[in-house]
Structure 1
Amino acid sequence: MSAHTPVPSVTLGSMAELEPLIQGRETPLVIRGLCRDWPLVKAGLGSDDVAAQALLEGYRGDPVIAYYLPPEQKGRVFYNEAMDGFNYQAGKLPLGKVLQTLFEQQGKPEAAGVYVGSTDLDHYFPGLSAQHRLPLQRVRPMAHLWLGNQVRIAAHFDFPHNLACNLVGRRTFTLFPPEQVGNLYIGPMELAPGGQPISLVDMDAPDLARFPKFAQAQAAALTAELAPGDVLYLPSMWWHHVRSETQFNVLLTHWWRDTPAYLGRPNNALLHGILALRSLPKAQRMAWKALFEHYVFDHDEGDLAHLPEGARGMLTTPLDELNARKLRADLTNKLKR
């Protein structure tokens, strides 16, 4: 992988400085050592065994979803060769069994990949929840734990903002701005590891003959190398490839969105756009693009000055919950026709 520009980093005097720092921020930022005093971070600095024991002590006991990659996959979570399935096996296992399998791989020259992703902290690890939370006041993020050995997660994006706390081991994030989507060669939308479309480019060995536009994405890429206790602020919609660098790694993500859930998921609008617009002749697509830019992407407060406030209807911003539900019901009924 070629060298990329590092993500800017800061060190804060206290946790209280975090929220004002990221409020409205649109680019990534690394906050060094912010979580260094958390119990799991301290346990991991002792040893992998101590960190694993701390996880088990905080664990509720419900089986977690675990992934196993054969050694020949070299830790890359991806598709099978036919791209009609994936290159890993998945199943529900007790955490103790997952950790046993993970530690059995340590020291092997060609280790199998072992991975547990996006596991709700409050439900599965209630004993860790209280002491492993960022003190955010304006938002209430969902906290999810990730653990495994040296695996690689293909570049993908998430709609929510994210504060990713690196608790045990080291991780490297390679980040791409949202506008680089056309240079990342995205795989199928219907079938993707983790349910989120991914880049088909192998970030360790990019095939520029097959993926020539990826060179432009590389030029725009940023890299964040996280040590235990470091936190990465990852804004909404930024593409990110994640590499776990050590034989035992634990990450805690904090996800939140800027708008209330009753406004729905933007991905649903994208799917409807594919259904209703993608097959139109180009001239009609461009006409609809102009309408979307006017009503959705480029609007500002002055656009509705010619309308009385009571006549603005669904264009009122922000849309309240009652009118959002009316709009959703109307759309649902029209989709049934």
Structure 2
Amino acid sequence: MVEPVRLARDPAALDSLPLVERRCVTDAEDFAAIVAAGEPVIVQRLFDTWPALAAGIQGPATLGGYFRRLDRGAPVPVMEAPARHKGQFAYGPDRREFTFTKRQAPLGATLDRIEALIGQPDAPTVAIQMLRLDQAMPDFVEHNAMPLLPGIGPRLWLGGAVLTRTHNDRDHNLACVLAGRRRFVLFPPDQVSNLYVGPPDTPPRLSLVDPEAPDLARFPRYAEAIAAARLALLEPGEALFMPRYWWHHVTSLDPYNAMVNYWWGGSEEPNDAFLTALLAFRDLPPGERDYWREMVAAYVFAERGDVLSHIPAPLQGPLGPFSPSARAALRKQLRAAALKSS
């Protein structure tokens, strides 16, 4: 049984969480083993030779100048939260809107504004978020190579002291810190029911709970989530690997922060199947729900041991291993069924 940690009443209280393991990665085989294990890991010495990291260590003006030299004039995605929200990127009061606004703006002017706001009291929080560097600054990819993830385009996150509420990704995530310190509070995927996640029609889905001041009277199950949580504290030059679906609450700990991340390996197929399951199973009577629960446990998640050996392999159909052709045939069958029922 996991021993509950002291619930956070201030940011420093999260430091009592168990720490994510640190490792050095020397080659693609090492990295593949980390990905296959499905656990968060802080990866060290992965991008030591990047010019962007050298610029980030020297400070905001140097890193900003580096990006200005690479700029090809495309507008960049900018998010801004008023000063009253103290850097929190979260839901607004009605859960249909957020505490921040989104817009497109020139890179140079945005960098100027971010740098000008450093150290200013009662200033808004401005950040460049999810900028596709392979599209906006292709020279960045050439000069700051990530050979472990060939063909995966990096994205830039740069700005003030942003605090992003707990959310997750459908892709694996490798987050490489260029400037400023970052804190990730990580929750395993199975904690979804304890995180009080917001509405599905307002992406991204965020937890309603503030880990730095959780309201347990309102969110009592959160005590189980924080008991299962882990902590990753990253310095410039360190990267965090987060397997897909791990929930993470991210805090930029310094007035100026920059990070590059890579997303890969995700698929819409599981989410589509989940939505289909909601439609097909949720309103069934109890006996039928029990039947389909057992079918999924036995044949989808293989939780009942060997349930197929009595059927010859050629006759196992979709219950058996999928060949590429069998997978394609089943997709075709499901598309035809969807069209028929619509």
Q: Does the pair score TM above 0.5?
A: yes
AA partner of residue 34 (structure 1): L
Partner SS for 1:10: strand
Q: Within the alignment, does 1:252 sit opposite 2:256 as a pair?
A: no
Gap regions ≥5 residues in structure 2: 1-7
Partner SS for 1:250: strand
Match of 2:328 among 325, 328, 337: 325
Question: Per the alignment, do residues 293 and 319 of structure 1 end up closer, same or farther by CA in structure 2, a change over 3 Å counting?
Answer: farther
Cα distance in structure 2, aligned partners of 1:91 and 1:151: 17
Name the % identity. Answer: 35
2:91 touches 2:208 (CA, 8 Å); kept in 1? no
AA partner of residue 41 (structure 2): L
Deviation at 1:298, TM superposition (A): 1.7
Alignment of 1:309-324 (within 5 A): 309-320=313-324, 322-324=325-327
Q: Equivalent residue for 2:144?
A: 132
Cα distance in structure 1, aligned partners of 2:30 and 2:126: 33
Cα distance in structure 1, aligned partners of 2:239 and 2:281: 40
Partner SS for 1:203: coil
Question: Per the alignment, do residues 300 and 114 of structure 1 end up closer, same or farther by CA in structure 2, a change over 3 Å counting?
Answer: farther
2:318 touches 2:330 (CA, 8 Å); kept in 1? yes
Q: Equivalent residue for 1:10?
A: 23
Question: Per the alignment, do residues 304 and 179 of structure 1 end up closer, same or farther by CA in structure 2, a change over 3 Å counting?
Answer: same
Deviation at 1:43, TM superposition (A): 0.2
AA partner of residue 162 (structure 1): N
Cα distance in structure 1, aligned partners of 2:29 and 2:322: 28
Partner SS for 2:143: coil
Deviation at 1:142, TM superposition (A): 4.2
Q: Within the alignment, does 1:61 sit opposite 2:73 as a pair?
A: yes
Q: Equivalent residue for 2:191?
A: 180
- How many matched pairs? 327
Question: Per the alignment, do residues 23 and 210 of structure 1 end up closer, same or farther by CA in structure 2, a change over 3 Å counting?
Answer: closer
Deviations 1:3-61 (Å, cap 9, x if unpaired)?
Answer: 2111111245x456742551411211112343232111100111111101111222332
Q: Equivalent residue for 2:211?
A: 203
Q: Equivalent residue for 1:37?
A: 49
Question: Per the alignment, do residues 254 and 317 of structure 1 end up closer, same or farther by CA in structure 2, a change over 3 Å counting?
Answer: farther
Q: Within the alignment, does 1:80 sit opposite 2:92 as a pair?
A: yes
Q: Equivalent residue for 1:102?
A: 114
- Cα root mean square deviation, aligned: 2.3
Cα distance in structure 2, aligned partners of 1:240 and 1:279: 32
Q: Within the alignment, does 1:157 sit opposite 2:160 as a pair?
A: no
Q: What is the TM-score of this pair, normalised by structure 1?
A: 0.89
Deviation at 1:140, TM superposition (A): 5.0
AA partner of residue 189 (structure 1): P
Cα distance in structure 1, aligned partners of 2:130 and 2:43: 22
1:142 touches 1:256 (CA, 8 Å); kept in 2? no
Q: Equivalent residue for 2:338?
A: 335
Gap regions ≥5 residues in structure 1: none
Match of 1:272 among 266, 273, 276: 276
Q: Within the alignment, does 1:114 sit opposite 2:126 as a pair?
A: yes
